[in-house]
Amino acid sequence: MTVDKFVTKLLNELESGKIQLPTLPEVALRVRDTVDNRDARISQIAEVIYEDATLSPRLLQVANSALYSRRDPIDRFPSAITRLDNAVVRDLVTAEAMKQMFQATNKEIDNRLRDVWAQRVEVAAVARAVAPQCPSVTPDQAMLTGSLHYNGTRPILYFFEQDDSILRTEGLLERLLGEVLTRIGGELRSTWGFPPALVAVAAEHENLQRQHEGGTDLVDPVPVFNLQNRAGINHALSMIDWADVPAFAQVGFDDDV
């Protein structure tokens, strides 16, 4: 099968619903619903998170990290929620739940999933670091968009597991990630009930010439984070003149930095 035919087949199966988009783990959905309830107490949020044995130690670790800890270390989970803020807890739980979904039975696929996850972590770290230079984006918003912008990769890679011969088609995976990733990512977030702003991040973040009316939205900073992450390395994105990318001006980031 040629690359063009495979891309067409994948898009047709996506449109017809034959590709099973993964569901967000139940605990992440419950944490999101609980946090979004303004009347929710810290104890209620903690009770939901306790259902996943891996989440509470992870959040406690983050709360005691240099990023958030400016006081004495804490050893009680409800105190960690208070220190992090409800919105940060919700975003971290979502990111951790998605990390658990990045597993595959095929070794080659699994290695690629790990590479993609590592890149997501890098972009999230860059996003958190440069956010103070983007006046319209909070650090926590930046970190979330940076960590979620490649979430459409998983359905593509699992599609490869159905036919090992696909993996031997030179250049096919790279082309799929380039042409189909954003579309699947947008549909995946819609399935998960994410707000439209985060759906747009998945669907439009690859468009380096994107322009729009109105103020800065959550899509605008992602090209900034991606290009910053690729600066100085052997990659096609490192060759792009940042002055030609509208997102830099849109978020108020100096393209000379």
Domain boundary among 44, 66, 101: 101
Average pLDDT, the chain: 77
* Residues 109 and 67 occupy one common structural domain: no
**53: number of Cβ within 10 Å:** 7
Instruction: Determine the 3-state secondary structure of 72 from DSSP.
Output: coil
Which domain, by its residues, includes 173? 103-257
Same domain, yes or no: 86 and 148: no
Q: What percent of the chain has pLDDT over 90?
A: 0
Domain match, 54 and 115 both: no
CATH number of the domain bearing residue 253? 1.10.3210.10
Same domain, 254 and 133: yes
pLDDT at residue number 164:
63
Q: Do 97 and 114 share a domain, yes or no? A: no
Number of domains composing the chain: 2
Within a domain: 5:
no
pLDDT category at 55 given cuts 50, 70, 90 is confident
> Residue 227 above 80 pLDDT?
yes
Would the pTM count as exceeding 0.75? no
Tokens of residue 233, six digits:
């390395």
Residue 1 has pLDDT above 60, yes or no: no
With cut-offs at 50, 70 and 90, classify the pLDDT of residue 57.
confident
Q: In this predicted model, which residue has the larger pLDDT, 149 or 206?
A: 206
Same domain flag for 126 and 238: yes
Which residue, 153, 154, 148, is CA-closest to 222?
A: 148
Inform me whether the pLDDT recorded for 185 exceeds 80: no
Model pLDDT for residues 8-48, shown as the tens digit of each residue = 777 777 777 776 666 667 888 888 888 888 888 888 988 88
Q: At residue 50, does pLDDT exceed 80?
A: yes
For the chain, the first-to-last Cα distance in angstroms comes to: 45
What local confidence, expressed as pLDDT, does residue 180 receive? 66
**Helix 196-204, helix 139-148: angle, nearest 10:** 50
| 207-212 contact pairs (CB < 8 A, 24+) | 208/240, 208/245, 208/247, 209/245, 209/246, 210/246, 210/247, 211/246, 211/250
